Chain A
Amino acid sequence: MITELSAGFLPLTDSAILIAAKERGFAEAEGIALNLVRETSWANIRDKLAVGQFEISHALAPMPIAANLGLTPFDTRLIAPMALGLGGNAITVSNALLARMQEGSGFSGLDAAVAGRALADVVAEGRSSGEKPLQFGVVHPFSGHNFELRYWLSASGINPDRDIEIVILPPSLMADALASGQIDGYCVGEPWNSVGVARGAGQIITTKSSIWASSPEKVLAVREDWAGENTETLHALLRALYRAAEWCGQSANHFELASLLGSSSYLDQPVEFILPALDGSILGMSAPNEGRDFFQPHARAATFPWQSHALWFYSQMVRCGYVGHSAEHAEMVRKSYRPDIYRAALTGIDVPVPSANSKVEGALRETTAVGASSQFLYLGPDGFFDGTIFDPDGLDAYIARQAD
Chain B
Amino acid sequence: MGEGLPSVLIIDENATRASIIEAGLAAAGHNQVTVINEMRGIAAKIALHEPDVIVIDLENPNRDMLESIFQLSRAVKRPIAMFVDRSDKEAMQSAIDAGVSAYVVDGLRQERVKSILDMAISRFNAFSRLERELEEARGALEQRKVIDQAKGLIMKSRGVDEDTAYKLLRKAAMNGNRKIVDVAESLVMSARLLGDEGS
Stretch at the interface among B47-55, B56-64, B123-131, B164-172: B56-64
Q: Does B86 contact A170, Cβ atoms closer than 8 Å? A: no
CA distance A169 to B66 in the complex (A): 9
Tell me if B23 is interfacial: C-beta within 8 Å of chain A.
Answer: no
Interfacial residues of chain A within 144-184, with CB under 8 A of chain B in the complex: 167-170, 172-173
Tell me if A52 is interfacial: C-beta within 8 Å of chain B.
Answer: yes
Tell me if A402 is interfacial: C-beta within 8 Å of chain B.
Answer: no
Selected contact of A140 from candidates B68, B83, B86, CB within 8 Å: B68
Q: Does A140 contact B96, Cβ atoms closer than 8 Å? A: no
**Known A-B contacts A140-B68, A170-B65; A40 and B82 likewise in contact (beta carbons under 8 Å):** no
Task: Give min CB distance, A320 to chain B, whole Å.
Answer: 10
Q: Mark A212-223, 1 if CB is under 8 A from B, else 0.
A: 000000000000
Q: Does A75 contact B64, Cβ atoms closer than 8 Å? A: no
For A44, list chain B residues within 8 Å (CB).
Answer: 58, 63
Task: Give min CB distance, B14 to chain A, whole Å.
Answer: 14
Selected contact of B96 from candidates A40, A47, A169, CB within 8 Å: A47
Q: Does B68 contact A53, Cβ atoms closer than 8 Å? A: no
Selected contact of A52 from candidates B63, B69, B93, CB within 8 Å: B93
- Name A's interface SS: loop
Q: Mark A24-64, 1 if CB is under 8 A from B, else 0.
A: 00000000000000001111100110111100000000000
**Known A-B contacts A47-B92, A51-B89, A51-B93; A40 and B81 likewise in contact (beta carbons under 8 Å):** no
CA distance A170 to B64 in the complex (A): 7
Task: Give min CB distance, A319 to chain B, whole Å.
Answer: 15
Q: Does B92 contact A139, Cβ atoms closer than 8 Å? A: no
Selected contact of B83 from candidates A73, A168, A322, CB within 8 Å: A73
Closest to B57 in A: A40
Q: Mark B79-102, 1 if CB is under 8 A from A, else 0.
A: 001110011010011001000010
Task: Give min CB distance, B197 to chain A, whole Å.
Answer: 29
Task: Give min CB distance, A154 to chain B, whole Å.
Answer: 19
Quick one: which of A74, A75, A168 has the most chain B CB within 10 A? A168
- Number of B interface residues at 8 Å Cβ cutoff, please give it: 23
Q: Does A43 contact B83, Cβ atoms closer than 8 Å? A: no
CA distance A294 to B92 in the complex (A): 38
Q: Does B86 contact A141, Cβ atoms closer than 8 Å? A: no
Q: Does B61 contact A40, Cβ atoms closer than 8 Å? A: yes
Selected contact of A43 from candidates B69, B81, B86, B101, CB within 8 Å: B101
For B59, list chain A residues within 8 Å (CB).
Answer: 40
CA distance A141 to B66 in the complex (A): 11
Closest to A170 in B: B61
Task: Give min CB distance, B91 to chain A, whole Å.
Answer: 10
For B93, list chain A residues within 8 Å (CB).
Answer: 51-53
Q: Mark A71-82, 1 if CB is under 8 A from B, else 0.
A: 001110000000
Closest to B80 in A: A73
**Known A-B contacts A43-B101, A74-B86; A168 and B64 likewise in contact (beta carbons under 8 Å):** yes
Task: Give min CB distance, A140 to chain B, whole Å.
Answer: 5
Give the size category of A's interface with B: 20 to 34
CA distance A42 to B60 in the complex (A): 11
CA distance A133 to B64 in the complex (A): 22
Q: Does B92 contact A168, Cβ atoms closer than 8 Å? A: no
Tell me if B118 is interfacial: C-beta within 8 Å of chain A.
Answer: no
For A168, list chain B residues within 8 Å (CB).
Answer: 64-65, 67-69
Selected contact of B86 from candidates A52, A53, A73, A169, CB within 8 Å: A73
For A40, list chain B residues within 8 Å (CB).
Answer: 59-61, 63
**Known A-B contacts A140-B68, A141-B71; A41 and B63 likewise in contact (beta carbons under 8 Å):** yes
For A74, list chain B residues within 8 Å (CB).
Answer: 82, 86, 92
Q: Does B96 contact A48, Cβ atoms closer than 8 Å? A: yes
Interfacial residues of chain B within 101-126, with CB under 8 A of chain A in the complex: 101
Q: Does B96 contact A43, Cβ atoms closer than 8 Å? A: no
Q: Does B101 contact A47, Cβ atoms closer than 8 Å? A: yes
CA distance A47 to B86 in the complex (A): 11
For B60, list chain A residues within 8 Å (CB).
Answer: 40-41
Known contacts A48-B96, A73-B82, A168-B67; can you find 16 more A-B pairs with CB under 8 A? A40-B59, A40-B63, A41-B60, A42-B64, A43-B101, A50-B89, A73-B81, A73-B86, A139-B64, A140-B68, A141-B67, A141-B71, A167-B65, A168-B65, A170-B65, A322-B71
Can you offer 15 A-B residue contacts whose CB atoms are under 8 A? A47-B82, A47-B92, A47-B101, A48-B96, A50-B89, A74-B82, A140-B68, A141-B68, A167-B68, A168-B68, A170-B62, A170-B65, A172-B61, A173-B61, A322-B71
